[in-house]
Structure 1
């Protein structure tokens, strides 16, 4: 009895000491759960210097997501997104019988979509995701490409992967062969193409005459030229279909060309082309016991070879152009322009006031939370689509900041994961409300700077992002004075946003600041 009581007391004392120790260390996880009232912590606001940095052509090889179409953004200008890709045989060395005749050829690339309702007849209603401009038509032409997209770069003695850049549209335009392959009579598949949210319904008739309907998610589904694929694939020399290396040298790929339709502003979609394929349906002779019958066959080509996103920028907004071409690196810019693709980013310097960081260190503050808050310029963004997220990273070393790594929060929607680190847009509390701010938590980044005098106060980069889980980098074709690389996730995003900057001309309540919440030592 007494022994049990003694151990209970010891356990209580140890627990108190443990909790006190955790409290003194200000555990990072606990700090991430503080919310917005900050428990009446003391607050300090530090000036930062944030300026624009223009981004030129960037490596857009083998992106997981590619833009296709036209997007007119009043705050930035017009982006026309083309695409080029190699093809791979789904099955090597296919056996093609005698008298093979093509019945149909379809190219299919599924859209990002959400099922909204299922009707009593079994049909479905979908809503497309990542579509800008709705169903405004564009002219779409799919050509055979004669440009060979090699795997390795000969300029590096074939030791590094070959890079293809966003500004190389002319390279593929000049290498296209013949007439367009999507030459169906329906203009919805070429001259007036649009991103259709309707499900794909395919009807097949069995040998007994019974019809069957097969339903699938919305997709870009294009009827391609039968004669071309009969000659190029079914009548190809067997050696050309024996391996994918031989096949890619023989059939070098496809070039998706986008043009403006008169009277239409155009539209753009984010596409996962690597999930796409071309299906060649054909019939051939089958001889059984001297009797010849026609049998149906299919042959698939996958769109998962080397690829590149090709971006043409035109009608550039003059305010945007002036801002990114004439940055104020000493005081910062009044307006910060973030634009995905071949666009712009922001360079951020913390603690630029001489002696400020050392003064904070001497005070011995315990940092509870630190945030960078960016206010959206509602007037400049009034007619533009707003990116759902921005991404802050260590620009000096081209890697995520420590708070990114320490945030293990997940969400049902993967685009909203790492919601403590965040960068997610904060909108007005009304239906279809406009964006107000982006807030990014860098508590541990600041803690390390304050605690360790030998820590490097690195430059930070801010960009729009398509995927918070993508931490890879893409090479700039021409490095600038700040970096040679750009986060790959921003290369994939066609959108942009305009934020209030750090220049003294910006109203104090809108100016970008580093907010620090702290506790004084006892």
Structure 2
């Protein structure tokens, strides 16, 4: 009796370990559970099956507005597999307060747009220059320290970009409006331009005599804008109806567009809510019958209350056009082209014949499924480069309803195993090697099909990850992903038709379902 209880416990542990297998960092731990198949308790078998994998062309567009952009992107990157991808940023402008009073005889000194790209903070990446003999403009002996931080980027390591800021002439409506990445806007006046070397800098100036701080500025990118434009557009309109309320102002000053001139380099990210434009001006201030010119500043609101979106353009390469059909080839594609920010994704379908074989193992041979995963390899020839590979994918189960509506859901594995802390939707292995591979854990998904007669549904795969709650750490939902601003891309090996026609047992680096099952 005791031995039977021990065997039941071991079998339960095997079932649990089978799910954990899908999250291991290497393939070897797949054999870890084999230690429990001892003393005749169970026989473990690992088997691989071909699956159908094909590209899903997303029309080079996705929703890329307020609801989707925790980060915004800017830049351009061109490489031979996918071609050029270029990202611009469009935002409304609002006043920080309405019917503002800038004082008497206000004259603009300068206008600066400030943004903070995501940047590296590792000590070996940061460059600090100290100017010991610096003289402050107020003729004070001081020390100036300039610290340079390289921004985080995807693409080519070195590239100077010319960043332009234009006035938007189209009305952008409200935040209730959905904007997609292929949205075009008309622009007017060029308001500013900046040559950007890929570094943002902080500045700190301290007085020599007592080390007190005279000036400090956090790391960021500052783009000077046309002061005459803002003089006439904002300052000189004091008291006018255009500045009285939000509705009037967003129809009067409709927005800004940030873009790069160049078509190749890299793509970088920034927090759209940290974007601002500051007007520095002087005005007459009268006290005790004495009038003096006084410095003032006014911040224009470019944050979350405004409509904002990424505008993404493509110039596709011949390699891409030859491999990615506009309509899914549901019989399978040899290569899978996955790209974030509106590029293509993929779908994987497990053939019904394979499902039938697994059902036969379960019903007639009393086999228990311990582990199931989809394995996808990076293409050794087309994707042999130094670009960072995606660390994960946004993977979902696709359901087509009787009315032809499409919905997406998480794998049932998420709920079954999340409590244990061992479930990981996608496990990336050997990302710094060629090839790398990805395992998508679908154990419970397959068990439900085999044991509960649930429908066999396609698995969708896109570059990006799912967003989590800052309080609970749980997934927010299927619609909350980083797809809109994930710049990574990769070419994977799909279903090669030649392998089906002429099987080559030595070549196993194509899309497969890998399962481990046991028989008593």
TM-score by length of 2: 0.78
Q: Which residue of 2 aligns with 1:43?
A: 46
Structure 1: distance between partners of 2:198 and 2:237: 34
Alignment of 1:309-458 (within 5 A): 309-314=310-315, 316-325=316-325, 329-353=329-353, 355-362=356-363, 363-383=365-385, 385=387, 386-396=389-399, 397-404=407-414, 420-424=424-428, 426-428=430-432, 433-434=433-434, 436-453=436-453, 455-458=454-457
1:317, distance to aligned residue in structure 2 (A) = 2.2
Q: Which residue of 2 aligns with 1:493?
A: 486
**Aligned residues of 1:274 and 1:302 also touching (Cα < 8 A):** no
**Aligned residues of 1:390 and 1:423 also touching (Cα < 8 A):** no
Matched, 1:167 2:182: yes
After superposition, the C-alpha distances for 1:217-272 in whole angstroms (9 at most, x for unaligned) are 2x3320111111122222224443344333222211002233237xxx43321232
1:177, distance to aligned residue in structure 2 (A) = 1.9
**Aligned residues of 2:169 and 2:187 also touching (Cα < 8 A):** yes
Structure 2: distance between partners of 1:303 and 1:134: 29
Matched, 1:464 2:475: no
Give the unaligned 5+ runs of structure 2. Answer: 35-43, 131-144, 400-406, 469-474
Structure 1: distance between partners of 2:377 and 2:230: 53
Alignment of 1:86-101 (within 5 A): 86-101=92-107
After superposition, the C-alpha distances for 1:480-514 in whole angstroms (9 at most, x for unaligned) are xxxxxxx8532322332111112242464111111
Structure 2: distance between partners of 1:330 and 1:290: 83
After superposition, the C-alpha distances for 1:22-44 in whole angstroms (9 at most, x for unaligned) are 54864787666774434224212
RMSD (Å), alpha carbons? 3.5
SS, match of residue 120 in structure 2: strand
SS, match of residue 361 in structure 1: helix
Q: Which residue of 2 aligns with 1:221?
A: 222
- Mean Cα displacement is larger for which, 52-61 or 29-38? 29-38
**Aligned residues of 1:373 and 1:439 also touching (Cα < 8 A):** yes
**Aligned residues of 1:471 and 1:489 also touching (Cα < 8 A):** no
**Aligned residues of 1:200 and 1:216 also touching (Cα < 8 A):** yes
Structure 1: distance between partners of 2:297 and 2:206: 14
Structure 2: distance between partners of 1:142 and 1:80: 15
Structure 1: distance between partners of 2:282 and 2:326: 63
1:357, distance to aligned residue in structure 2 (A) = 4.3
Structure 2: distance between partners of 1:18 and 1:294: 86
C-alpha spacing 1:364/1:398, structure 2 compared with 1 (3 Å):
same
Structure 2: distance between partners of 1:29 and 1:333: 29
Structure 1: distance between partners of 2:273 and 2:73: 13
SS, match of residue 388 in structure 1: coil
SS, match of residue 430 in structure 2: strand
Structure 1: distance between partners of 2:322 and 2:129: 56
**Aligned residues of 1:375 and 1:510 also touching (Cα < 8 A):** yes
Q: Which residue of 2 aligns with 1:59?
A: 63
1:16, distance to aligned residue in structure 2 (A) = 7.4
1:377, distance to aligned residue in structure 2 (A) = 0.6
Q: How many residues align?
A: 458
Q: Which residue of 2 aligns with 1:251?
A: 253
C-alpha spacing 1:221/1:517, structure 2 compared with 1 (3 Å):
same
**Aligned residues of 2:496 and 2:510 also touching (Cα < 8 A):** yes
C-alpha spacing 1:145/1:69, structure 2 compared with 1 (3 Å):
same
Matched, 1:194 2:196: yes
Structure 2: distance between partners of 1:408 and 1:197: 40
Matched, 1:145 2:168: yes
SS, match of residue 113 in structure 1: coil
Task: Give the structure with the higher percent strand.
Answer: 2
Structure 2: distance between partners of 1:308 and 1:126: 26
Structure 2: distance between partners of 1:322 and 1:51: 14
- Mean Cα displacement is larger for which, 107-116 or 401-410? 401-410
C-alpha spacing 1:308/1:295, structure 2 compared with 1 (3 Å):
same
C-alpha spacing 1:167/1:25, structure 2 compared with 1 (3 Å):
closer
Structure 1: distance between partners of 2:206 and 2:192: 22
C-alpha spacing 1:405/1:320, structure 2 compared with 1 (3 Å):
farther
Alignment of 1:4-153 (within 5 A): 22-23=12-13, 26=16, 35-40=29-34, 41-56=44-59, 57-62=61-66, 63-117=69-123, 123-151=146-174
Structure 2: distance between partners of 1:139 and 1:18: 67
Q: Which residue of 2 aligns with 1:176?
A: 187
**Aligned residues of 1:131 and 1:270 also touching (Cα < 8 A):** no
**Aligned residues of 2:394 and 2:466 also touching (Cα < 8 A):** no
**Aligned residues of 1:389 and 1:425 also touching (Cα < 8 A):** no
Structure 2: distance between partners of 1:103 and 1:450: 72
SS, match of residue 378 in structure 1: coil
C-alpha spacing 1:129/1:434, structure 2 compared with 1 (3 Å):
farther
C-alpha spacing 1:38/1:276, structure 2 compared with 1 (3 Å):
same
C-alpha spacing 1:381/1:25, structure 2 compared with 1 (3 Å):
closer
C-alpha spacing 1:358/1:68, structure 2 compared with 1 (3 Å):
same
Structure 2: distance between partners of 1:241 and 1:435: 58
SS, match of residue 114 in structure 1: coil
C-alpha spacing 1:365/1:71, structure 2 compared with 1 (3 Å):
same
Structure 2: distance between partners of 1:222 and 1:163: 29
Q: Which residue of 2 aligns with 1:483?
A: none
